Chains A and B, each alone.
Chain A
Amino acid sequence: MAAASLPAAQPGPLRAARSFLGQYGLILVLLILPVAFAIQDLSDTGNLTRLGNNIVDGLSNGAIWALVAIGYTLVYGIIELINFAHGDVFMLGSFVAAGFFGTIGLSEGMGAVGLVLGLALTLLVVMVVQGTTNVMIERVAYRPLRAAPRLAPLITAVGFSFILQNVGLLWRGGSPEGIADLINSQHELFTLFGVPITNGDLLAIFVTIPLVFAMSMFINHSRLGKAMRATAQDPEAAKLMGINVDTTISLTFLLGGMLAGAAGLIYALYQTTIWYFQGFTAGLIAFTAAVMGGIGNVRGAVLGGFIIGMIQQMIDNRDSLGPLQMGPSWTPVYVFAYLVLIMVFKPSGLLGEQTREAG
Protein backbone atom coordinates (compact mmCIF):
# COMPACT_ATOMS: atom_id res chain seq x y z
CA MET A 1 0.00 0.00 0.00
CA ALA A 2 2.77 2.37 0.97
CA ALA A 3 4.90 1.35 -1.97
CA ALA A 4 2.10 2.04 -4.42
CA SER A 5 1.85 5.67 -3.36
CA LEU A 6 5.50 6.34 -4.18
CA PRO A 7 6.24 8.06 -7.48
CA ALA A 8 6.94 5.39 -10.06
CA ALA A 9 9.16 7.39 -12.42
CA GLN A 10 12.64 7.23 -10.96
CA PRO A 11 16.03 6.70 -12.50
CA GLY A 12 17.10 3.08 -12.92
CA PRO A 13 19.72 2.51 -10.21
CA LEU A 14 17.77 4.34 -7.53
CA ARG A 15 14.70 2.34 -8.31
CA ALA A 16 16.67 -0.88 -8.25
CA ALA A 17 18.15 0.07 -4.89
CA ARG A 18 14.72 0.88 -3.57
CA SER A 19 13.20 -2.37 -4.68
CA PHE A 20 16.20 -4.25 -3.29
CA LEU A 21 15.81 -2.49 0.06
CA GLY A 22 12.08 -3.05 0.02
CA GLN A 23 12.63 -6.76 -0.41
CA TYR A 24 15.74 -7.43 1.66
CA GLY A 25 16.08 -4.26 3.76
CA LEU A 26 14.50 -5.81 6.82
CA ILE A 27 16.66 -8.91 6.59
CA LEU A 28 19.75 -6.72 6.32
CA VAL A 29 18.67 -4.69 9.35
CA LEU A 30 18.09 -7.89 11.30
CA LEU A 31 21.53 -9.20 10.39
CA ILE A 32 23.45 -6.11 11.56
CA LEU A 33 23.62 -7.04 15.25
CA PRO A 34 24.45 -10.76 14.93
CA VAL A 35 27.21 -9.99 12.43
CA ALA A 36 28.62 -7.26 14.65
CA PHE A 37 28.56 -9.64 17.62
CA ALA A 38 30.21 -12.38 15.58
CA ILE A 39 33.05 -10.03 14.65
CA GLN A 40 33.41 -8.90 18.26
CA ASP A 41 33.47 -12.49 19.55
CA LEU A 42 35.93 -13.64 16.93
CA SER A 43 38.33 -10.82 17.74
CA ASP A 44 37.97 -11.38 21.50
CA THR A 45 38.06 -15.14 21.86
CA GLY A 46 38.71 -16.56 18.41
CA ASN A 47 35.57 -18.68 18.34
CA LEU A 48 31.82 -18.26 18.10
CA THR A 49 30.79 -20.31 21.13
CA ARG A 50 29.29 -17.33 22.92
CA LEU A 51 27.15 -16.38 19.95
CA GLY A 52 26.16 -20.04 19.54
CA ASN A 53 25.15 -20.12 23.18
CA ASN A 54 23.01 -17.04 22.69
CA ILE A 55 21.39 -18.55 19.64
CA VAL A 56 20.44 -21.74 21.47
CA ASP A 57 19.09 -19.85 24.49
CA GLY A 58 17.41 -17.47 22.11
CA LEU A 59 15.65 -20.31 20.31
CA SER A 60 14.21 -21.59 23.59
CA ASN A 61 13.08 -18.15 24.66
CA GLY A 62 11.89 -17.50 21.16
CA ALA A 63 9.74 -20.63 21.31
CA ILE A 64 7.88 -19.06 24.22
CA TRP A 65 7.50 -15.72 22.43
CA ALA A 66 6.35 -17.55 19.31
CA LEU A 67 3.51 -19.24 21.18
CA VAL A 68 2.38 -15.93 22.68
CA ALA A 69 2.81 -14.11 19.36
CA ILE A 70 0.47 -16.55 17.61
CA GLY A 71 -2.30 -15.44 19.95
CA TYR A 72 -1.72 -11.80 19.03
CA THR A 73 -1.54 -12.50 15.36
CA LEU A 74 -4.68 -14.66 15.25
CA VAL A 75 -6.75 -12.11 17.14
CA TYR A 76 -5.43 -9.19 15.13
CA GLY A 77 -6.02 -11.08 11.91
CA ILE A 78 -9.64 -11.69 12.73
CA ILE A 79 -10.91 -8.59 14.57
CA GLU A 80 -8.05 -6.10 14.10
CA LEU A 81 -7.61 -5.66 17.82
CA ILE A 82 -4.31 -5.40 19.65
CA ASN A 83 -5.27 -7.68 22.50
CA PHE A 84 -3.38 -6.07 25.36
CA ALA A 85 -4.71 -8.63 27.82
CA HIS A 86 -2.94 -11.46 26.01
CA GLY A 87 0.41 -11.04 27.76
CA ASP A 88 -1.39 -11.36 31.06
CA VAL A 89 -3.20 -14.50 29.96
CA PHE A 90 0.30 -15.89 29.39
CA MET A 91 1.33 -14.72 32.86
CA LEU A 92 -1.67 -16.43 34.46
CA GLY A 93 -0.68 -19.54 32.50
CA SER A 94 2.57 -19.60 34.46
CA PHE A 95 0.68 -19.07 37.71
CA VAL A 96 -1.88 -21.80 37.04
CA ALA A 97 0.93 -24.18 36.10
CA ALA A 98 2.89 -23.41 39.27
CA GLY A 99 -0.26 -23.79 41.35
CA PHE A 100 -1.12 -27.09 39.71
CA PHE A 101 2.36 -28.53 40.36
CA GLY A 102 1.73 -28.02 44.04
CA THR A 103 -1.78 -29.44 43.93
CA ILE A 104 -0.85 -32.73 42.30
CA GLY A 105 2.40 -32.89 44.25
CA LEU A 106 5.01 -32.80 41.51
CA SER A 107 8.54 -32.47 42.86
CA GLU A 108 12.12 -32.70 41.63
CA GLY A 109 12.67 -36.08 43.26
CA MET A 110 9.98 -37.92 41.32
CA GLY A 111 10.79 -40.51 38.71
CA ALA A 112 10.98 -39.50 35.08
CA VAL A 113 7.74 -41.26 34.16
CA GLY A 114 5.71 -39.60 36.91
CA LEU A 115 7.19 -36.24 36.06
CA VAL A 116 6.45 -36.50 32.36
CA LEU A 117 2.88 -37.64 33.00
CA GLY A 118 2.37 -34.93 35.57
CA LEU A 119 3.72 -32.25 33.28
CA ALA A 120 1.59 -33.49 30.40
CA LEU A 121 -1.45 -33.29 32.64
CA THR A 122 -0.42 -29.78 33.74
CA LEU A 123 -0.02 -28.74 30.11
CA LEU A 124 -3.52 -29.96 29.37
CA VAL A 125 -5.01 -28.20 32.39
CA VAL A 126 -3.19 -24.94 31.72
CA MET A 127 -4.24 -24.92 28.10
CA VAL A 128 -7.88 -25.56 28.95
CA VAL A 129 -7.94 -22.98 31.75
CA GLN A 130 -6.24 -20.23 29.77
CA GLY A 131 -8.19 -20.98 26.60
CA THR A 132 -11.41 -20.65 28.61
CA THR A 133 -10.18 -17.46 30.28
CA ASN A 134 -9.44 -15.91 26.91
CA VAL A 135 -12.84 -16.89 25.52
CA MET A 136 -14.52 -15.40 28.57
CA ILE A 137 -12.59 -12.16 28.18
CA GLU A 138 -13.71 -11.96 24.58
CA ARG A 139 -17.30 -12.64 25.56
CA VAL A 140 -17.35 -10.01 28.31
CA ALA A 141 -15.08 -7.27 27.01
CA TYR A 142 -14.92 -7.40 23.23
CA ARG A 143 -18.11 -8.91 21.88
CA PRO A 144 -20.46 -6.21 23.26
CA LEU A 145 -18.29 -3.65 21.49
CA ARG A 146 -18.41 -5.03 17.95
CA ALA A 147 -20.46 -2.07 16.72
CA ALA A 148 -18.66 0.45 18.95
CA PRO A 149 -15.92 2.89 17.94
CA ARG A 150 -12.68 1.24 16.95
CA LEU A 151 -10.80 2.31 20.05
CA ALA A 152 -13.35 1.12 22.58
CA PRO A 153 -12.24 -2.56 22.65
CA LEU A 154 -8.64 -1.41 22.94
CA ILE A 155 -9.52 0.27 26.23
CA THR A 156 -11.42 -2.76 27.54
CA ALA A 157 -8.41 -4.88 26.57
CA VAL A 158 -6.19 -2.65 28.68
CA GLY A 159 -8.77 -2.78 31.44
CA PHE A 160 -8.67 -6.58 31.42
CA SER A 161 -4.90 -6.51 31.37
CA PHE A 162 -4.99 -4.52 34.62
CA ILE A 163 -7.57 -6.88 36.12
CA LEU A 164 -5.52 -9.99 35.29
CA GLN A 165 -2.35 -8.38 36.65
CA ASN A 166 -4.21 -7.62 39.84
CA VAL A 167 -5.34 -11.24 40.06
CA GLY A 168 -1.71 -12.29 39.72
CA LEU A 169 -0.63 -9.74 42.32
CA LEU A 170 -3.19 -10.97 44.86
CA TRP A 171 -2.42 -14.59 44.10
CA ARG A 172 1.34 -14.63 44.51
CA GLY A 173 2.37 -11.24 45.83
CA GLY A 174 4.24 -8.38 44.33
CA SER A 175 7.76 -9.69 43.88
CA PRO A 176 9.24 -12.34 41.57
CA GLU A 177 8.93 -15.79 43.10
CA GLY A 178 11.14 -18.79 42.52
CA ILE A 179 9.39 -22.10 41.90
CA ALA A 180 10.59 -25.71 41.94
CA ASP A 181 13.02 -26.50 39.13
CA LEU A 182 11.13 -29.62 38.11
CA ILE A 183 12.96 -30.46 34.93
CA ASN A 184 16.40 -29.41 36.15
CA SER A 185 16.29 -26.76 33.51
CA GLN A 186 19.98 -25.83 33.35
CA HIS A 187 21.23 -29.43 33.31
CA GLU A 188 23.53 -29.94 30.35
CA LEU A 189 22.40 -32.82 28.16
CA PHE A 190 25.02 -32.72 25.43
CA THR A 191 27.10 -30.21 23.56
CA LEU A 192 26.73 -29.29 19.95
CA PHE A 193 29.82 -27.60 18.41
CA GLY A 194 30.87 -26.59 21.90
CA VAL A 195 27.45 -25.17 22.73
CA PRO A 196 25.72 -26.84 25.67
CA ILE A 197 22.11 -27.93 25.15
CA THR A 198 20.11 -28.04 28.37
CA ASN A 199 16.91 -29.76 29.49
CA GLY A 200 15.08 -26.46 29.28
CA ASP A 201 16.07 -25.93 25.66
CA LEU A 202 14.80 -29.36 24.69
CA LEU A 203 11.52 -28.85 26.55
CA ALA A 204 10.88 -25.48 24.91
CA ILE A 205 11.55 -26.77 21.43
CA PHE A 206 9.76 -30.10 21.80
CA VAL A 207 6.62 -28.64 23.23
CA THR A 208 6.46 -25.68 20.88
CA ILE A 209 7.06 -27.38 17.57
CA PRO A 210 4.26 -29.97 17.84
CA LEU A 211 1.87 -27.32 19.11
CA VAL A 212 2.64 -24.94 16.27
CA PHE A 213 2.41 -27.79 13.80
CA ALA A 214 -0.95 -28.91 15.15
CA MET A 215 -2.16 -25.33 15.10
CA SER A 216 -1.22 -24.69 11.52
CA MET A 217 -2.72 -28.06 10.48
CA PHE A 218 -5.92 -27.05 12.22
CA ILE A 219 -6.05 -23.62 10.61
CA ASN A 220 -5.13 -24.80 7.14
CA HIS A 221 -6.94 -28.11 6.88
CA SER A 222 -9.94 -28.24 9.19
CA ARG A 223 -13.40 -26.93 8.51
CA LEU A 224 -13.28 -24.58 11.49
CA GLY A 225 -9.87 -23.36 10.43
CA LYS A 226 -11.26 -22.56 7.03
CA ALA A 227 -14.05 -20.61 8.73
CA MET A 228 -11.42 -18.69 10.68
CA ARG A 229 -9.50 -17.77 7.57
CA ALA A 230 -12.70 -16.76 5.80
CA THR A 231 -13.77 -14.55 8.71
CA ALA A 232 -10.35 -12.92 8.82
CA GLN A 233 -10.56 -12.15 5.13
CA ASP A 234 -14.06 -10.70 5.06
CA PRO A 235 -16.43 -11.08 8.02
CA GLU A 236 -19.43 -9.87 6.03
CA ALA A 237 -18.98 -12.35 3.21
CA ALA A 238 -18.19 -15.11 5.69
CA LYS A 239 -21.46 -14.42 7.45
CA LEU A 240 -23.33 -14.58 4.15
CA MET A 241 -21.75 -17.95 3.46
CA GLY A 242 -23.28 -19.29 6.65
CA ILE A 243 -20.28 -19.07 8.92
CA ASN A 244 -21.12 -18.23 12.51
CA VAL A 245 -18.79 -15.29 12.95
CA ASP A 246 -19.21 -15.04 16.73
CA THR A 247 -18.36 -18.71 17.26
CA THR A 248 -15.39 -18.39 14.95
CA ILE A 249 -14.04 -15.42 16.86
CA SER A 250 -14.50 -17.30 20.14
CA LEU A 251 -12.59 -20.20 18.64
CA THR A 252 -9.76 -17.87 17.70
CA PHE A 253 -9.54 -16.62 21.27
CA LEU A 254 -9.67 -20.21 22.53
CA LEU A 255 -6.69 -21.19 20.39
CA GLY A 256 -4.75 -18.06 21.34
CA GLY A 257 -5.41 -18.62 25.03
CA MET A 258 -4.40 -22.29 24.85
CA LEU A 259 -1.08 -21.43 23.25
CA ALA A 260 -0.47 -18.63 25.74
CA GLY A 261 -1.17 -21.09 28.55
CA ALA A 262 1.31 -23.58 27.10
CA ALA A 263 3.85 -20.77 26.79
CA GLY A 264 3.22 -19.89 30.43
CA LEU A 265 3.99 -23.45 31.51
CA ILE A 266 7.19 -23.59 29.48
CA TYR A 267 8.25 -20.21 30.84
CA ALA A 268 7.67 -21.35 34.42
CA LEU A 269 9.70 -24.54 33.89
CA TYR A 270 12.45 -22.82 31.92
CA GLN A 271 12.98 -19.67 33.96
CA THR A 272 11.83 -21.14 37.32
CA THR A 273 10.82 -17.61 38.34
CA ILE A 274 7.35 -16.20 37.94
CA TRP A 275 6.05 -12.70 38.52
CA TYR A 276 2.74 -10.96 38.08
CA PHE A 277 4.36 -8.35 35.84
CA GLN A 278 6.05 -10.85 33.49
CA GLY A 279 3.08 -10.71 31.13
CA PHE A 280 3.51 -7.04 30.32
CA THR A 281 7.03 -7.27 28.92
CA ALA A 282 6.34 -10.65 27.37
CA GLY A 283 3.26 -9.22 25.71
CA LEU A 284 5.15 -6.34 24.15
CA ILE A 285 7.98 -8.57 22.99
CA ALA A 286 5.62 -11.14 21.54
CA PHE A 287 3.65 -8.42 19.86
CA THR A 288 6.84 -7.12 18.29
CA ALA A 289 7.48 -10.65 17.08
CA ALA A 290 4.03 -10.85 15.54
CA VAL A 291 4.53 -7.54 13.75
CA MET A 292 7.99 -8.56 12.60
CA GLY A 293 6.66 -11.71 11.01
CA GLY A 294 3.75 -9.89 9.40
CA ILE A 295 0.72 -9.54 11.61
CA GLY A 296 -2.10 -11.94 10.84
CA ASN A 297 0.36 -14.56 9.65
CA VAL A 298 0.91 -17.58 11.91
CA ARG A 299 4.17 -18.71 10.34
CA GLY A 300 5.40 -15.12 10.50
CA ALA A 301 4.63 -14.94 14.22
CA VAL A 302 6.68 -18.08 14.86
CA LEU A 303 9.59 -16.80 12.79
CA GLY A 304 9.39 -13.40 14.47
CA GLY A 305 9.30 -15.05 17.90
CA PHE A 306 12.50 -16.98 17.24
CA ILE A 307 14.28 -13.94 15.79
CA ILE A 308 13.30 -11.67 18.67
CA GLY A 309 14.29 -14.39 21.15
CA MET A 310 17.77 -14.64 19.65
CA ILE A 311 18.32 -10.89 19.42
CA GLN A 312 17.17 -10.54 22.99
CA GLN A 313 19.58 -13.19 24.28
CA MET A 314 22.51 -11.70 22.39
CA ILE A 315 21.90 -8.26 23.89
CA ASP A 316 21.12 -9.61 27.37
CA ASN A 317 24.41 -11.42 27.39
CA ARG A 318 26.68 -8.49 26.49
CA ASP A 319 27.72 -5.29 28.19
CA SER A 320 28.38 -3.12 25.19
CA LEU A 321 28.98 -3.00 21.48
CA GLY A 322 31.27 -0.12 20.60
CA PRO A 323 29.67 2.96 22.11
CA LEU A 324 26.29 1.26 22.63
CA GLN A 325 25.28 0.19 26.12
CA MET A 326 23.81 -3.31 26.38
CA GLY A 327 22.66 -5.81 28.96
CA PRO A 328 19.27 -6.98 30.17
CA SER A 329 18.08 -3.54 31.23
CA TRP A 330 18.76 -2.14 27.76
CA THR A 331 17.26 -5.02 25.78
CA PRO A 332 13.78 -3.46 25.45
CA VAL A 333 15.32 -0.36 23.84
CA TYR A 334 16.81 -2.51 21.07
CA VAL A 335 13.72 -4.64 20.65
CA PHE A 336 11.57 -1.55 20.23
CA ALA A 337 14.13 0.14 17.99
CA TYR A 338 13.85 -2.93 15.77
CA LEU A 339 10.10 -2.57 15.88
CA VAL A 340 10.34 1.02 14.63
CA LEU A 341 12.82 0.03 11.92
CA ILE A 342 10.53 -2.74 10.70
CA MET A 343 7.68 -0.29 10.55
CA VAL A 344 9.77 2.13 8.52
CA PHE A 345 11.35 -0.35 6.14
CA LYS A 346 8.70 -3.01 5.76
CA PRO A 347 5.45 -2.46 7.64
CA SER A 348 4.06 -5.70 6.25
CA GLY A 349 6.75 -7.67 8.08
CA LEU A 350 8.95 -10.53 6.92
CA LEU A 351 6.18 -12.74 5.54
CA GLY A 352 3.76 -9.91 5.00
CA GLU A 353 2.41 -10.64 1.53
CA GLN A 354 0.15 -13.33 2.83
CA THR A 355 -1.22 -10.90 5.38
CA ARG A 356 -2.58 -8.56 2.79
CA GLU A 357 -4.59 -11.35 1.27
CA ALA A 358 -5.84 -12.35 4.67
CA GLY A 359 -7.13 -8.91 5.38
Chain B
Amino acid sequence: MSCQEMVDLLLDFVGGEITPEQRAMIEQHLCGCPPCVRHVEEYSLTIRVTRLLPKNDPLPPAFEQRLWAALAAESERGA
Protein backbone atom coordinates (compact mmCIF):
# COMPACT_ATOMS: atom_id res chain seq x y z
CA MET B 1 0.00 0.00 0.00
CA SER B 2 1.31 3.46 -0.93
CA CYS B 3 1.09 6.57 1.26
CA GLN B 4 -1.57 8.04 -1.07
CA GLU B 5 -3.68 4.87 -0.89
CA MET B 6 -3.46 5.04 2.89
CA VAL B 7 -4.57 8.70 2.90
CA ASP B 8 -7.45 7.88 0.54
CA LEU B 9 -8.77 5.39 3.10
CA LEU B 10 -8.38 7.68 6.11
CA LEU B 11 -12.00 8.79 6.35
CA ASP B 12 -13.22 5.21 6.43
CA PHE B 13 -10.33 4.17 8.68
CA VAL B 14 -11.10 6.66 11.45
CA GLY B 15 -14.82 6.03 10.98
CA GLY B 16 -14.31 2.29 11.47
CA GLU B 17 -15.80 1.57 8.05
CA ILE B 18 -13.08 -0.53 6.49
CA THR B 19 -12.75 -4.24 5.97
CA PRO B 20 -10.43 -6.27 8.22
CA GLU B 21 -8.20 -6.78 5.17
CA GLN B 22 -7.93 -3.02 4.57
CA ARG B 23 -7.24 -2.44 8.25
CA ALA B 24 -4.43 -5.01 8.20
CA MET B 25 -2.88 -3.35 5.14
CA ILE B 26 -3.08 0.09 6.72
CA GLU B 27 -1.57 -1.10 9.97
CA GLN B 28 1.23 -2.84 8.10
CA HIS B 29 1.91 0.35 6.15
CA LEU B 30 1.91 2.47 9.31
CA CYS B 31 4.43 0.17 11.01
CA GLY B 32 7.02 1.20 8.44
CA CYS B 33 5.97 4.79 7.68
CA PRO B 34 6.37 7.36 10.50
CA PRO B 35 5.17 10.29 8.30
CA CYS B 36 1.86 8.49 7.72
CA VAL B 37 1.60 7.76 11.45
CA ARG B 38 1.89 11.48 12.02
CA HIS B 39 -0.71 12.11 9.29
CA VAL B 40 -3.21 9.78 10.96
CA GLU B 41 -2.56 11.42 14.34
CA GLU B 42 -3.17 14.90 12.94
CA TYR B 43 -6.29 13.82 11.03
CA SER B 44 -7.77 12.18 14.13
CA LEU B 45 -6.89 15.14 16.33
CA THR B 46 -8.57 17.51 13.86
CA ILE B 47 -11.82 15.60 14.19
CA ARG B 48 -11.50 15.28 17.95
CA VAL B 49 -10.93 18.98 18.65
CA THR B 50 -13.60 20.12 16.21
CA ARG B 51 -16.14 17.99 18.04
CA LEU B 52 -15.34 19.91 21.22
CA LEU B 53 -16.62 23.21 19.79
CA PRO B 54 -19.66 24.44 21.72
CA LYS B 55 -22.93 24.35 19.76
CA ASN B 56 -24.95 26.57 22.09
CA ASP B 57 -22.80 29.63 22.59
CA PRO B 58 -24.97 32.55 23.73
CA LEU B 59 -26.17 35.06 21.16
CA PRO B 60 -24.40 38.43 21.00
CA PRO B 61 -26.40 40.56 23.50
CA ALA B 62 -27.39 43.28 21.01
CA PHE B 63 -28.65 40.68 18.54
CA GLU B 64 -30.47 38.80 21.29
CA GLN B 65 -32.49 41.92 22.08
CA ARG B 66 -33.28 42.66 18.41
CA LEU B 67 -34.27 39.06 17.78
CA TRP B 68 -36.55 38.87 20.78
CA ALA B 69 -38.26 42.12 19.75
CA ALA B 70 -38.78 40.75 16.21
CA LEU B 71 -40.22 37.48 17.51
CA ALA B 72 -42.49 39.21 20.00
CA ALA B 73 -43.83 41.41 17.17
CA GLU B 74 -44.36 38.37 14.95
CA SER B 75 -46.10 36.53 17.76
CA GLU B 76 -48.48 39.45 18.37
CA ARG B 77 -49.27 39.68 14.65
CA GLY B 78 -50.24 36.01 14.68
CA ALA B 79 -52.28 36.22 17.88
Bind each other:
no
Which positions in B face A, CB cutoff 8 Å?
A: none
